[in-house]
Amino acid sequence: MIAVKKLVKRFGHKTVLRGLEFRAEAGEFIALLGPNGAGKTTFLRVLASLSSPTIGEVRISGFLLPGQSAEVRRRLGVVLHEPLLYGDLTAEENLTFYGRMYGLADLPERIAATLELVGLRGRSRDLVRTFSRGMQQRLSIGRAVLHDPDVILFDEPYTGLDQDAGNMLDSVLAAISSQGKTIVMTSHDLARASALASRFDVISRGVISASGLRADLGPERLLPFYQEAVRAG
Amino acid sequence: MQASRTQAYLRSIHAIVWKDLAAEFRSRELFSAMFVFALLVILIFNFSLQLNPRERQEITAGVLWVTFAFAGTLGLNRSMAIEKDRNCLDGLLLAPVDRSTIYFGKAIGNLVFMLIVEAVILPVYSLLYNVNLFNPGLLVVILLGSIGYVAVGTLLATMAVQTRTRDILLPILLFPLILPVLLSAVRASAGFLQARAMTEIWPSINLLVVYDLIFIALAFMFFDYVVEE
């Protein structure tokens, strides 16, 4: 589903990703862990086609980036730090806008189903600027899954959420994951990552320094695994 | 196949224009800022330049376009800031559409905002400067000048909004580039206001059309590079 070979990303003289290798199969839920500045967000932006690789090959659903980026974007949902929503539009209008940008048919039905999924059906006519951070994050996930993508990328989705909003996000992510989507999520929150992901990849200094399955590690061994991987990187 | 691609292209442009208009008609932030600013510029010119009626007639076109240009800059900055503040530009870039649709959608939205502000300002201007601005030829010039202005302005605003100094960078980049459009628009407008022969006005109108086409073509070619990280 995702195949990345020898990915290098430079910004001027600064090299952020240094020959990164990555692979994700259909239906996997991968947590990308790593310290600040390790290159997690840069890697996610390259996968999202928002940033071009300096060197290396990136394929998603068989399509090459950046050459076939429109095909990739059609199959990709992305949730970033910011919700990418317009505050002066209602939840429904935001989804209508993005649905039109993706050329979706049956838009009213899709929007209703998406708002139901993220638990915002009752707030569909409210302006997004009146939403809490947690509600905006859930609507942002709705925006990302509206076109039924094969792959969904999450960049630190729990940032700025309180405990309740985090728990609600857990259930939304679990529901999306149960639909068989391939999910790649960057996170600092090992506890939440361990509860949701099926695989943990640690990025350190621009490469994947370790990779482990939940089945092998279990929640109790994740922290030592992570600390060791960061030290090794 | 080609027809469906064209349809998809136009549908994306329409979606962006609809989104900008819907958000603006709800908040009215951009309209109010542009309108108040344009009104202030007109009043300042009116009271600071103590001119006799003949002199006033001669400078009317220049003052009119300076007002449009200043108010337009405010609108362009705000229109792109909305996309950048919540990182919505990334949301647009993630859509599976040709990126030039984003340019055309934003440019058409900006043009509509600018034309609405101009339509509100013209009667006030006509009253203060005691000139009949409701001349079909003049209205065509205003349309052509505004198209050239937003064509290059939207591209530069997209560039400027990605820098920390976006508020000051846009006018610094825009005004030198837009000078040919403004000069042609002022000459053509003055020609209509002073009822000169069409043979005198045509060269300026032709120049305006040529500048509009060049600026649109350049923006179409370079927009992808401007939004590339």
- DSSP state string for B54-70: HHHHHHHHHHHHHHHHH
Domain of A171, in residue numbers: 22-40+81-232
Q: Give B78-107 pLDDT, tens digit per residue.
A: 888 889 878 899 999 999 999 999 999 999
What DSSP element (H or E) covers A182? strand A182-187
Q: What is the pLDDT of chain B when averaged over all its residues? A: 90
pLDDT for B2: 64
A interface residues, B as partner, C-beta within 8 Å:
45, 48-52, 70-71, 73-74, 76, 78, 80-89, 93, 97-98, 100-103, 127, 143
Q: How many CB atoms lie within 10 A of CB B106?
A: 27
Let me know: does B227 contact B93? Beta carbons within 8 Å.
yes
CATH number at residue A136: 3.40.50.300
How many domains does one find in chain B? 1
Is B82 part of the contact surface with chain A (CB cutoff 8 Å)?
yes
The minimal CB distance from A102 to the residues B27, B88, B96 is found for: B96
pLDDT for B47: 84
Band (B134; pLDDT cuts 50, 70, 90): confident
Band (A214; pLDDT cuts 50, 70, 90): confident
pLDDT for B1: 60
Let me know: does A115 contact A188? Beta carbons within 8 Å.
no
User: Which range has the worst mean pLDDT, A116-125, B37-46, B50-59, B163-172?
Assistant: B50-59
Residue B84 φ/ψ, nearest 5 degrees:
-85, -35
Task: Please determine, for residue B159, whether its predicted confidence score (pLDDT) is greater than 80.
Answer: yes
Residue A186 φ/ψ, nearest 5 degrees:
-85, 145
CA distance A221 to chain B (A): 37
pLDDT for B194: 87
Is B12 part of the contact surface with chain A (CB cutoff 8 Å)?
yes
pLDDT for B208: 95
Residue A59 lies in a domain: no
Mean pLDDT to the nearest integer, A50-76: 92
- What's the angle, vertex CA B102, arms to CA B100 and CA B108, rounded to 5? 100
Residues of A in contact with B12 (CB under 8 A): 100-101, 103
Reading phi first (left if > 0) and then psi (alpha if -120 to 50, else beta), residue B130 is in: left
- What's the angle, vertex CA A51, arms to CA A91 and CA A27, rounded to 5? 65
**Burial degree of B47 (CB within 10 A; 0-12, 13-18, 19+):** exposed
Residue with the two structure tokens 């996997």:
A28
Q: Where are the beta strands (DSSP E) in A12-129?
A: 14-24, 29-33, 55-60, 63-65, 76-79
pTM of the predicted structure, to 2 decimals: 0.90
Band (B163; pLDDT cuts 50, 70, 90): confident
Residue A127 lies in a domain: yes
Q: Give B185-207 pLDDT, tens digit per residue.
A: 999 999 998 889 999 999 999 99
Residue A179 lies in a domain: yes
Let me know: does B219 contact B107? Beta carbons within 8 Å.
yes
Mean pLDDT to the nearest integer, B12-36: 92
Let me know: does B110 contact B150? Beta carbons within 8 Å.
yes
How many domains does one find in chain A? 1
Residue A65 lies in a domain: no
Task: Please determine, for residue A219, whether its predicted confidence score (pLDDT) is greater than 80.
Answer: no
Let me know: does A57 contact A6? Beta carbons within 8 Å.
yes
CB-facing half-sphere around the CA of A170: CA atoms within 13 A = 13
Inter-chain residue contact B229 with A88, CB threshold 8 Å: no
Residues of B in contact with A93 (CB under 8 A): 19, 22
Task: Please determine, for residue B3, whether its predicted confidence score (pLDDT) is greater than 70.
Answer: no
pLDDT for B229: 67
Q: Are strands A2-11 and A14-24 parallel, antiparallel or unpaired?
A: antiparallel
Between these two residues, B45 and B95, which has the higher pLDDT value? B95
DSSP string, A38-65: SSHHHHHHHHTTSS--SEEEEEETTEEE
Inter-chain residue contact B23 with A88, CB threshold 8 Å: yes
Let me know: does B39 contact B117? Beta carbons within 8 Å.
no
Q: How far apart are CA A92 and CA A80, in angstroms?
A: 20
Q: Quote the tokens at residue B227.
A: 């939004």
Residue A48 lies in a domain: no
pLDDT for B168: 87
Reading phi first (left if > 0) and then psi (alpha if -120 to 50, else beta), residue A37 is in: left
CB-facing half-sphere around the CA of B208: CA atoms within 13 A = 24
What's the ipTM? 0.91
Domain of B125, in residue numbers: 2-227
Between these two residues, B76 and B166, which has the higher pLDDT value? B76
Q: Give A80-110 pLDDT, tens digit per residue.
A: 988 999 999 999 999 999 999 999 989 999 9
